[in-house]
Amino acid sequence: MRYFLSCFAVAIVVSLLTLNTASAEAIYQWRLAMSWPEGTPMLHNAAARFARNVEVMSGGRMRIIVDAPGRHKAPLGVFDMVRSGAYEMGHTASYYYKGKDPATTYFTTVPFGMTPTEMNAWYYYGGGLELLNEVYARHNIVAFPAGNTHLQMGGWFRKEVNSLEDLKGLKMRIPGHAGEVVEKVGMKPISIPPGELYTALERGTIDAVEWAGPANDVRMGFYKLAPYYYTGWHEPGAELHVFINKEQYRALPEDLQVMIAISAKEVSLDILSEAFYRNVVAWEEMKKESEINVRTFPDDVLNALKKANDELLNEVAERSPMARKVIESQKAFLDQSKDWSRITDEDYLKLR
């Protein structure tokens, strides 16, 4: 009897060890839907780099296949595809989904808001990451920052803007909260997937377009159609995100969850660096190819945009308690940090 019990105990231990080993060696093959057309500078790189990071760090235990809109056919549908589990993951911009939840808008950027350095500080030390996942948990999604594109330009315009009156009725591709801001000053914002922007500008569906910066814009060829290039105000530090189906994420071993978080953070830093570098190089190329007229919006335009932005933030905060929580958190951190940013970054750039 004692021999039988000993053998039984050994069998249990062996079974448990086998189960643990099998669990440790389980292979996960997931799909990631990105919002960006195949080969889009930096943006496609971010999704591909994230996927490779996870595969290498996991020793091949997790493989992520990246699908562009050419395959999944829904560049602005990543939120729903990940929420439903049609795709385990996505790479997109949170502000595309303000219609799903107004609080999602502000995790990408806010007009006249935080710079990339300030945004990173808010995300990783100022409570932003916790707020991000408080919002997305309600939609069966886990989210991580995954690629800041740096300060974006204010867009390409067919005609020069000399006053607020010049914006009345002007059709512009501009997403997120900024789209509501320009609408409030008389423009007509239009949401168009990235792959269709050049055609829309060429055909006159839109009169102006904002996309990102020179590295992306030179590839799109906007400067061939709209010669006036305006400096930025609406996306001072646009953060992209990795979305993950919450149920699928929670079912992963803890080490793979950590690898995903670390990979997303690495991509966020890498794309910020790549964006700055590629914009510098692309700007030199663009200047050689075509005469580009760089402009800053007139004071009356900027003042009207600031006023409209403040009014809209207050209106959204009244309608959505969760959006108010995010808006107030960002505003509090910006108020706290702007003096330090002024006496460091701003003053240094002036004296340099």
Domain ranges of the chain: 28-148+238-277, 155-236+291-351
Q: Quick one: which of 10, 67, 29, 56 has its CA closest to 248? A: 29
Q: Quick one: which of 317, 332, 308 has its CA closest to 174? A: 308
Q: Quick one: which of 152, 153, 157, 154 has its CA closest to 170? A: 157
β-strands 155-157, 208-209 pairing: antiparallel
88 within 8 A of 244, measured Cβ to Cβ: yes
118 within 8 A of 250, measured Cβ to Cβ: no
In tens digits, the chain (352 residues) has pLDDT values of 443 334 433 333 333 333 344 445 789 999 999 999 888 878 888 999 999 999 999 999 999 999 999 999 999 999 999 999 999 999 999 999 999 999 999 999 999 999 999 999 999 999 999 999 999 999 999 999 999 999 999 999 999 999 999 999 999 999 878 999 999 999 999 988 878 898 999 999 999 999 888 888 877 888 888 999 999 999 999 999 999 999 999 999 999 999 999 999 999 999 999 999 999 998 888 778 777 889 999 999 999 999 999 999 999 999 999 999 999 999 999 999 999 999 999 999 999 9
- Cα separation of the two ends of the chain: 86
Joined together, the tokens standing for residue 296 give: 């800053």
Could you check whether 28-148+238-277 and 155-236+291-351 share the same CATH topology?
A: yes
pLDDT recorded at residue 24: 53
pLDDT recorded at residue 21: 45
pLDDT recorded at residue 68: 94
CATH architecture of 155-236+291-351: 3-Layer(aba) Sandwich (3.40)
241 within 8 A of 136, measured Cβ to Cβ: no
| CATH class of this structure's domain 28-148+238-277 | alpha beta
Q: What DSSP element (H or E) covers 80?
A: helix 78-84
Residue 252 is given by DSSP the state S
